[in-house]
Amino acid sequence: MNWKFWQRSKDANPNSKDANPKKQKSKGREWADAIIFAVVAATIIRVFFIEAYTIPTGSMERSLLVGDFLFVSKVNYGARIPMTPVAFPFAHHTMPITGTKAYYDGIQWKYRRLPGLSDIKRNDVVVFNFPEGDTVALEQQDHDYYEMVRSMGRENIHSQYTITSRPVDKRENYIKRCIGIGGDVVSMQNGVVSVNGKPEKLKPTGQISYAVEFKTADVNFKVFEDMGFNLQQDITGLAENTYEFTGTETMMNEVRKLAFVKSVEENTVSAGQQDISVFPHDPKRNWNVDNFGPITIPKRGLTITLDSLNMPIYERTIRIYEGNKVEKVGNDWVINGIKTKNYTFKMDYFWMMGDNRHNSLDSRYWGFVPEDHIVGKALFIWMSYNTNGSFFSKIRWNRLLSGIH
């Protein structure tokens, strides 16, 4: 057939298939496609690459401040494959308006993690899921369920509150500094942490509380505000002319130089003074927030003896984090129906603590952080603001785009 004749016939035939132009998408369809693409792309970035995070409490002050907005890298330690894959985009565990669950836990995937750039190192600032967040009292979500049970009793808690469970990746996000990695031995004496027998002083931005005694009652507290203290948060009256200060070592050295200051002493708990809220909540151990240990942090492949000394420390790890059925029959321990004297850990674990040592709920209270709870590494602060002053004065300009050390 002559090509030109066929082409003229095709153009003249209105019923030709190729003659009909493609139907254009409606504006609504274009917007829907754009939104779906944006949600999918943002979700992929958030899950596998980087995620924004806000500092909600003062447990890391003065390293990180309330009102700091961070970017957390999922790439450094390797992105964790979602363990609860069916979830509402951009909602963590609760829907913002209805207050209902933002995920479906009927489908659960095993813990898997993509290869990362590095392992977690000591002193890294890490975001992780709260280990004891597996059970929550919905009306008291800011409180540790297990601590509530220890103080009020299980029956009272379950009769007053709505109790629910959460999968690993839908537990609250915490941010702390990694003090010890799997295999390390951690202890604390008089407020100073030791790792493998070596004392590790607080970083320059870390702070604890001090008892400060003045020579006179006539004190201009504006001096301390100029030093960087928050008069409402960092200074509390203890007795006549004596106050509790929360600050860094550098700040407290400046306080010591003031002519009207009589003494400055670290306000730590005495050794032997028991605090049952401190991990492992064992009445046979006289441990407290400033004096505990030694504790060996579990790691993959480490084998321990199951006895009365070890089990208060490791029973929850073996039972909850590693998913075993643990029973005590007489003087023997039975794991998954088999009597045994030893146990070998399947995962690596970490010891996390806040830089604001006397105002931080951390591993001293709830123990080890399993590797499957690790979210990512805190990289840098992209925005920071406080709640006082005008809009521009609220922004902490010196903290914008600053790294986290």
Q: What is the pLDDT of residues 291-346, one digit of tens each?
A: 999 999 999 999 999 999 999 999 999 999 999 999 999 989 999 999 999 999 99
What pLDDT sits at residue 10?
47
Sort strands 192-195 and 235-239 into parallel, antiparallel or unpaired: unpaired
* Domain assignment present for 168: no
Residues 6+ apart with CB under 8 A from 78: 113, 114, 115, 116, 117
DSSP class of 303? E
What pLDDT sits at residue 365?
97
* Domain assignment present for 28: no
- Phi/psi of residue 236, each to 5°? -135, 135
* Domain assignment present for 335: no
CA distances (Å), origin 114, targets 77, 107, 125, 193, 345: 8, 20, 20, 32, 21
Supply the CATH number for residue 222's domain.
Answer: 3.30.70
* Domain assignment present for 232: yes
| Spatial separation of the C-alpha atoms in residues 245 and 212, rounded to whole Å | 7
What pLDDT sits at residue 347?
97
Tell me the pLDDT tens digit for each residue of 259-296: 999 999 999 999 999 999 999 999 999 999 999 999 99
Position 155, amino acid: E
Position 124, amino acid: D
Ordered per-residue pLDDT tens for the chain, 405 residues? 444 444 444 454 555 555 556 667 787 788 888 888 888 898 899 989 999 999 888 899 888 888 899 999 999 999 999 999 999 988 899 998 888 899 999 999 999 999 999 999 999 999 999 999 999 999 998 899 999 999 999 999 999 999 999 999 999 999 999 999 999 999 999 999 999 999 998 888 899 999 999 999 999 999 999 999 988 889 999 999 999 999 999 999 999 999 999 999 999 999 999 999 999 999 999 999 999 999 999 999 999 999 999 999 999 999 999 999 999 999 899 999 999 999 999 999 999 999 999 999 999 999 999 999 999 999 999 999 886 666 667 888 888 888 887
Q: How far is CA 165 from the centre of its chain?
A: 18
What pLDDT sits at residue 286?
95
* Domain assignment present for 247: yes
Burial 62-78 (b: 16+ CB within 10 A, else e): bbbbbbbebbbbbbbbb
What pLDDT sits at residue 55?
86
* Domain assignment present for 202: no
Is the CB of residue 234 less than 8 Å from the CB of residue 387? no
* Domain assignment present for 152: no
Domain membership of residue 254 as a residue range: 208-266
What pLDDT sits at residue 3?
46
N- to C-terminal Cα separation, the chain:
77
* Domain assignment present for 79: no
Tell me which residue of 401, 405, 361, 348 sits closest to 174, measured CA to CA.
361
What pLDDT sits at residue 37?
87
- Phi/psi of residue 285, each to 5°? -115, 125
What pLDDT sits at residue 390?
60
The total number of structural domains in the chain stands at 1
- Burial of 235: CB neighbours in 10 Å, binned 0-12, 13-18, 19+: middle
